[in-house]
């Protein structure tokens, strides 16, 4: 078995999908987990990108169906989390509007992130290291601060925190372990980026978001493809078992091997 076949098998990506079938089974997956966990719904951070938009659509469909089937109030809560001024915040709002979310809130993380960064810099200074946090380090603080806020809200409202990780991120390790600080459930697992966009089209995600350049929003100008030097088209082709440029294939497989610790369970002894 080639490394490509091994990766595809491990991540569970299909060479072709039926979007309607994938939507149905992922909505059912969410519904079953909510019922079994005795929670009252789902919380999703809406970044303005296609991954969180698709996840929002799946969550809203799941909780609407649960409410109709049980007569109870199951809800999807959308959280918008800008760092100061977010230039594409209207994209997040348009997703919430497109899916008719009744429950949305904005939690600006600017002050919290800056305080954490300052305390970290004081700690570095005490260790004899006199510098500011790197942009990558501060980007990780942003990601984890967002998760702290999500879990603070989810705990008080008895909700599950939903992640947006999928196979095209898993292969590159383009997330921190178990998401940006852990999540409770990931309904996009086993889809590549192209397939996520296929679900987006079927769910009715606004078109400008479907075609938007993916970014984690960790620093100004950051894009996934720019940071990795690998396009999502090539990434998706690889995960569908297709031949891609040998140089890109080598880079992608090196990235996969280098980031194995991000996919593996937390080790113990």
Query: Is 225 noted as a catalytic residue in this protein?
Result: no
- Cβ-based neighbour number of residue 48 at 10 Å: 22
Question: Partners of 44 in the beta sheet?
Answer: 78
**CA 206/CA 98 separation, integer angstroms:** 7
Annotate 67-124 with DSSP letters as a single string: HHHHSS--EEEEEE--SSS-TTHHHHHHHHHHTT-SEEEE---HHHHHHHHHHHHHHH
In 3D, which of 52, 71, 58 has the Cα closest to residue 31?
Answer: 58
Contacts of 66 (CB under 8 A, 6+ apart): 31, 34, 35, 41, 72, 74
Asked whether the beta carbons of 65 and 27 are under 8 A apart, the reply is: yes
Nearest of 176, 255, 226, 236 to residue 17 by alpha carbon? 236
Q: Of 22, 51, 180, 224, which one is the catalytic site residue?
A: 51
237 is catalytic: no
Catalytic residue, candidates 22, 91, 165, 169: 169
Name the burial class of residue 114, with classes exposed (0-12), middle (13-18) and buried (19+) by CB atoms within 10 angstroms of its CB. middle
Q: Catalytic amino acids? A: 51, 169
């Amino acid at each position: 078995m080639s490394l490509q076949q091994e990766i595809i098998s491990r991540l569970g990506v299909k060479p072709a999908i039926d979007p309607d079938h994938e939507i149905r089974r992922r909505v059912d997956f969410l519904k079953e987990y909510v019922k079994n966990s005795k929670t009252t719904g789902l919380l999703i951070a809406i970044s303005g990108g296609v991954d969180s938009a698709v996840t929002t659509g799946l969550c809203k469909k799941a909780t609407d169906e649960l409410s109709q089937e049980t007569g109870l109030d199951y809800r999807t809560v959308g959280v918008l989390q800008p760092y100061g001024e977010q230039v594409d915040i209207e994209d997040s709002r348009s997703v919430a509007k497109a899916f008719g979310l009744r429950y949305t809130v904005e939690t600006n993380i600017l002050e919290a992130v800056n305080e954490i960064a300052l305390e970290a810099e004081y700690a570095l200074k005490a260790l004899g290291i006199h510098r500011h946090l790197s942009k990558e380090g501060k980007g990780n603080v942003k990601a984890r601060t967002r998760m702290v806020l999500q879990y603070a809200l989810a705990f008080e409202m008895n909700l599950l925190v939903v992640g947006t990780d999928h196979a095209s991120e898993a292969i590159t390790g383009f997330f921190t372990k178990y998401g940006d600080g852990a999540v409770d459930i990931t309904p996009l697992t086993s889809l590549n980026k192209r397939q996520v966009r296929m679900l987006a089209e079927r769910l009715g995600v606004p078109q400008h978001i479907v075609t938007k350049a993916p970014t984690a929003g960790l620093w100004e100008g950051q894009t996934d493809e720019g940071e990795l030097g690998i396009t999502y088209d090539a990434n998706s082709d690889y995960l569908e078992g297709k031949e891609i440029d040998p140089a890109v294939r080598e880079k992608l497989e090196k990235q996969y091997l280098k980031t194995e610790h991000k996919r593996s369970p937390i080790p113990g002894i």
